[in-house]
């Protein structure tokens, strides 16, 4: 889909030649700039009780006399905040996408001045609404006909809006890639498939891609990663992809994404209900690919390394057992008390591996704990970091990207739960504060790093009728990484 600015003069909306016009309306009454036929329709609908100005409210009108675009939708944006703007556009596009329109113009009135942030929010809403999964469902209705979207703005706003559209499109493409990869089922999206897709992305965007095989990681000493992988017939892959957009001596940001392509729990097997959703357990890996995509597409002047330890967690005659002790790449030993706490086992070796890049910051992203879903629900990702500055930057990036996180504690007291009589640590700490003890486990491998951890167990996908990957937290990560550009 192609997004462009569409400069219009005052009162020019009715004259716009497009297949559909989406008018986003901020405030609690028909805004003054909305004059003529459009204003008349909206005023009448409000008077008749068919339109209210509550964010997300919709009104559709077909072939309005005096309006050139044959399809008109109004969508209320309440106070005009970024969040409500995005919500209004999402609702409007959901209404229009199945119709005959190919060229849509979005206009926003009563929401204040339009800039890059507003443009980005509009792109995010449109591309989220039109994404369609087809990989294993070729019979799905053909993709929306919408091919062109214009964002109406004044001449003065055009430069900022144009820049926001470009940035927004790169981020939206990254979000879409993450959704697509995470939606693919476990028998399609294997570690080998993830590696192949990373190589394809590398060729298309100029990334250096390296894939370590089982024998390579064994030679390095990644005993924790290998312990998880050993119960599966699928070959594990340790994927490293690098974008070099800044000078060689600029320390990179390293993203580490949990790439469990299916999590049965292993010998500590999970119950059957909703186990299918454990195909999404590579959502962290998918977000790393999506962020690499966005950053490389923008040719951002940053150095970015993506590390993806990828494997399946399966029960098997050769699978790791509760009580087994393994030696991690760091040299620390781990008693695997619960084979379902596998994410931290693959991440700890990847975090140690990240040291070799002498990174400016390392952020791991993982669908790590059900406990995080209980703590924060599905709106905010859990953010853990002992570094206040890094935590602040990531929280700000999440707010700006409408992909918010919430900071969680890492007090030393929580570490006591990980004590083991047979190894340097156990891999679980009991039910209390489960998201925190998981983060404390990872913390034991990050003493040499400026590190943050994002637990996306509640935000990476939706369950129920709308079951599917969200592409989060690509927008948060892209905002953070792009802010490091020099």
Enzyme catalytic residues: 270, 344
263 near Zn ion, judged by CB under 5 A: yes
Q: Which residue lies nearer to Mn ion by CB, 340 or 349? A: 340
Binding letters toward ligand BES, positions 248-287, x by CB under 6 A: ---------------x-----------------x------
| Identified binder of Zn ion from the candidate list 157, 176, 281, 349, rule CB under 5 A | 281
457 near ligand BES, judged by CB under 6 A: yes
Q: Which residue lies nearer to ligand BES by CB, 152 or 178? A: 178
Nearest of 59, 27, 56, 17 to residue 40 by alpha carbon = 59
Q: Which residue lies nearer to Zn ion by CB, 83 or 270? A: 270
Binding letters toward Mn ion, positions 234-273, x by CB under 5 A: -----------------------------x----------
Q: Which residue lies nearer to ligand BES by CB, 328 or 369? A: 369
Q: Give, as ranges, the residues between 401 and 440 that touch Zn ion (CB under 5 A).
A: none
Q: Which does 425 bind (CB under 5 to 8 A by kind): ligand BES, Mn ion, Zn ion, none?
A: none
Q: Which stretch binds ligand BES (CB under 6 A): 91-99, 135-143, 160-168, 333-341?
A: 333-341
| Identified binder of Zn ion from the candidate list 245, 252, 309, 343, rule CB under 5 A | 343
Q: Which does 370 bind (CB under 5 to 8 A by kind): Mn ion, Zn ion, ligand BES, none?
A: ligand BES
Which two three-digit tokens encode residue 449? 């790093």
| Identified binder of ligand BES from the candidate list 19, 120, 157, 342, rule CB under 6 A | 342
Q: Which stretch binds Mn ion (CB under 5 A): 111-119, 149-157, 197-205, 341-349?
A: 341-349
Q: Which residue lies nearer to Zn ion by CB, 176 or 263? A: 263
Determine the size of the site formed for ligand BES (CB under 6 A). 16
Q: Which does 468 bind (CB under 5 to 8 A by kind): Zn ion, ligand BES, Mn ion, none?
A: none
Q: Give every CB contact of residue 341 below 8 A, 6+ residues apart in sequence.
A: 427, 428, 438
| Identified binder of Mn ion from the candidate list 120, 180, 340, 403, rule CB under 5 A | 340
Q: Which residue lies nearer to ligand BES by CB, 128 or 340? A: 340
SS3 annotation, the chain: CEEEEEECCCCCHHHCCCCEEEEEECCCCCCCCCCHHHHHHHHHHHHCCCCCCCCCCEEEEECCCCCCCCEEEEEECCCCCHHHHHHHHHHHHHHHCCCCCCEEEEEEECCCCCCHHHHHHHHHHHHHHHCCCCCCCCCCCCCCCCCEEEEEECCCCHHHHHHHHHHHHHHHHHHHHHHHHHHCCCCCCCHHHHHHHHHHHHHHHCCEEEEECHHHHHHHCCHHHHHHHCCCCCCCEEEEEEEECCCCCCCCEEEEECEEEEECCCCCCCCCCCHHHHHHHHHHHHHHHHHHHHHHHCCCCCEEEEEEEEEEECCCCCCCCCCEEEECCCCCEEEECCCCCCHHHHHHHHHHHHHHHCCCEEEEEECCCHHHHHHHCCCCEEEECCCHHHHHHHHHHHHHCCCCEEECCCCHHHHHHHCCCCCCEECCCCCCCHHHHHHHHHHCCCCCCCEEEEECCCCCEECHHHCEECCCCHHHHHHHHHCCCC
Q: At its nearest, how many Å lie between ligand BES and the CB of residue 114?
A: 38
Q: Which residue lies nearer to ligand BES by CB, 262 or 451? A: 262
Which two three-digit tokens encode residue 356? 């070799």
Q: Give, as ranges, the residues between 112 and 131 that touch Mn ion (CB under 5 A).
A: none
| Identified binder of ligand BES from the candidate list 169, 230, 328, 367, rule CB under 6 A | 367
List residues near Zn ion by CB under 5 A. Answer: 260, 263, 281, 343
List of residues contacting ligand BES (CB under 6 A):
263, 281, 338, 340-343, 367-371, 373, 428, 434, 457
Which parts of this chain interact with Mn ion (CB under 5 A)?
A: 263, 340, 342
């Amino acid at each position: 889909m192609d997004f462009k600015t569409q400069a219009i003069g005052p009162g020019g909306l009715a004259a716009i030649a497009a297949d559909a016009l989406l008018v986003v309306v901020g405030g609690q009454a028909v805004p003054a700039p909305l004059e003529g036929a459009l204003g008349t329709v909206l005023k009448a609908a409000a008077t008749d009780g068919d339109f209210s100005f509550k964010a997300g409210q919709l009104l559709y009108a077909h072939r309005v006399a005096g309006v050139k675009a044959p399809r008109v939708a109004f969508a209320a944006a309440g106070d005009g905040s970024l969040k409500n703007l995005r919500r209004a556009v999402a609702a409007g596009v959901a209404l229009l996408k199945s119709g005959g329109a190919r060229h849509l113009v979005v206009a926003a009135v009563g929401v204040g001045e339009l800039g890059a942030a507003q443009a980005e929010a509009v792109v995010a809403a449109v591309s989220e609404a039109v994404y369609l999964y087809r990989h294993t469902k070729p019979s799905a209705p053909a993709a929306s006909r919408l091919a062109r979207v214009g964002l109406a703005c004044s001449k003065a706003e055009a430069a900022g809006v144009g820049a926001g559209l470009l940035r927004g499109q790169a981020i939206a493409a990254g979000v879409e890639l993450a959704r697509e990869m995470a939606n693919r089922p476990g028998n399609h999206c294997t570690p080998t498939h993830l590696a192949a897709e990373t190589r394809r992305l590398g060729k298309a965007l100029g990334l250096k891609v390296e894939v370590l095989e089982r024998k390579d990681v064994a030679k390095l000493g990644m005993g924790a990663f290998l312990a998880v992988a050993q119960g599966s017939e699928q070959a594990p892959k340790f994927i490293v992809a690098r974008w070099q957009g800044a000078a060689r001596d600029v320390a990179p940001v390293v993203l580490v994404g949990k790439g469990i392509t299916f999590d049965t729990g292993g010998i500590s097997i999970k119950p059957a209900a909703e186990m299918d959703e454990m195909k999404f357990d590579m959502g962290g890996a998918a977000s790393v690919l999506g962020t690499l995509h966005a950053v490389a597409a923008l040719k951002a002047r940053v150095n970015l390394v993506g590390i993806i330890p990828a494997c399946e967690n399966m029960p098997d005659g050769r699978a790791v057992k509760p009580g087994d002790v393994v030696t991690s790449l760091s040299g620390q030993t781990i008693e695997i008390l619960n084979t379902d706490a596998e994410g931290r086992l693959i991440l700890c070796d990847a975090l140690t591996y990240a040291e070799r890049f002498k990174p400016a910051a390392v952020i791991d992203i993982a669908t790590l704990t059900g406990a995080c879903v209980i703590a924060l629900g599905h709106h905010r990702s859990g953010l853990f970091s002992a570094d206040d500055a890094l935590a602040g930057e990531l929280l700000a990036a999440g707010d700006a990207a409408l992909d918010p996180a919430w900071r969680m504690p890492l007090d030393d007291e929580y570490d006591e739960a990980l004590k083991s009589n047979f190894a340097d640590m156990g891999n679980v700490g009991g039910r209390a504060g489960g998201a925190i003890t998981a983060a404390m486990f990872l913390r034991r491998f990050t003493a040499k790093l400026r590190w943050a951890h994002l637990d996306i167990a509640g935000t990476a996908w939706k369950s129920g009728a709308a079951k599917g990957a969200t592409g989060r937290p690509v927008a948060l990560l892209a905002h953070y990484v792009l802010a490091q550009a020099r």
